[in-house]
Amino acid sequence: MAALFLVTLYEYSPHFYIAVVFTCFIVTAGLVLGWFGWDVPVILRNSEETQFNARVFKKQMRQVKNPFGLEISNPSSASITTGITLTTDCLEDSLLTCYWGCSVQKLYEALQKHIYCFQISTPQALEDALYSEYLYQEQYFIKKDSKEEIYCQLPKDTKIEDFGAVPRSRYPLVALLTFADEDDREIYDIISMVSIIHIPDKTYKLSCRILHQYLLLPQGQFYDLKQLFMSANNSTPPGSSSPEEDSADHSLLEKAGLSGSAADAPEESSKDCVVCQNGAVNWVLLPCRHTCLCDGCVRHFQRCPMCRQFVQESFALRSRKEPDKDKPKPL
């Protein structure tokens, strides 16, 4: 009797199809909701939508004063045979120790020893950690706030004209800045700075530059000092190279495995937010390190407006409570 009823309903009633489809939909929806809950399954989402909805974490930063400053004067004229001129700017009396032909492996082992064994707060401590794996050493006394220019050069009797093809086992020059007075180490959070400098030679003609700068802390930590991609004026910095030299340097960097991303290119100079063109730039976006957004615009972006890279973290250059020095005071 029941079978006869179903056959009759199947032949004469269109509602049978609707009932079957509706029942299948209810069962499928129940299974999906029972398995995933009310959240949409991640496998059904667009990957970009998933990253876009990710929360951007804001880092709590602590301001630290760096007592050491080191720059290269006239990098275009520097070479292994003619030497290099370094400009120092230190807040206290310091010692500049230069290690020519320093072993790459021993240097990074020394930085690990700073973490696990002993502090590298003096030239002797770094020399012990390097096991004298360098070709030549020279040391200079730096007066505080003097901005001295120090000329460094390998002795001619070493007869070194290059350090071989890349990848190399030695850095051309490693410069260590430390305090001359032990009491100054108790004042600052940074006790020394290690700068790794490339100097062109016959084999590798990449222009002279600072490859890395490491800030060493007394707690057994060290941090790689990074550049923020932000310019304060439109003037070309002294000693800048031509576009042809930049192109050649980029190809040499790629060959050595030291080339950065496209975001490392210098950006157009502006103190204003790149979005609203009104607020002062205050936020640094990570990992691209573009400094291009104001306090009002940073909350609306999960991608960097300059390079379109997803923002993982961000931090402010100054707190909102700090008065803006650029704004004129009311009369």
Quote the pLDDT of residue 269: 44
Identify the H or E element spanning 112. Answer: helix 104-116
Angle between helices 104-116 and 123-130 (to 10 degrees): 120
Coil/strand/helix, residue 192: strand
Lowest average pLDDT, out of 27-36, 150-159, 290-299, goes to: 27-36
Q: Is the pLDDT of residue 260 over 60?
A: no
Secondary structure of residue 208 in the 3-state scheme: coil
Contact residues for 303 (Cβ-Cβ < 8 A; gap 6+): 52, 309, 310, 311
Q: What is the Cα–Cα distance from 74 to 208, expressed in whole angstroms? A: 9
Residue type, 39: D
Average per-residue pLDDT in the chain?
Answer: 79
Give me the mean pLDDT over the 272-293 stretch: 89
Q: b/e map of 47-78 (b: 16 or more CB within 10 Å)?
A: eeeeeeeeebeeeeeeeeeebbbbebeebeeb
Q: Who wins on pLDDT, 174 or 329?
A: 174
Of the candidates 197, 224, 216, 217, the residue with the CA atom closest to the CA atom of residue 208: 197
Q: How confident is the model at residue 242 (pLDDT cuts 50, 70, 90)?
A: low
pLDDT for 14-48, tens place per residue?
666 677 777 888 888 877 777 666 555 544 445 44
Provide the token pair at 17.
Answer: 């199809």
Which residues are within 8 A (CB) of 152 and not within 5 positions of it... i.e. 6 or more apart? 83, 84, 85, 86, 98, 138, 173
Q: Rg for the chain (alpha carbons), in Å?
A: 30
Q: pLDDT band at 228, cuts 50/70/90?
A: confident
Q: What separation, in Å, do the N-terminal and C-terminal C-alpha atoms of the chain show? A: 98
**Predicted confidence (pLDDT) at residue 231 exceeds the cutoff of 60:** no
2: confidence class by pLDDT, cuts 50, 70, 90: low
Over residues 102-124, the pLDDT tens digits come to 999 999 999 999 999 999 999 99
In contact, 285 and 303? CB cutoff 8 Å: no
How far apart, in whole angstroms, are the C-alpha atoms of residue 191 and residue 66? 9
Mean pLDDT confidence for 170-188: 93
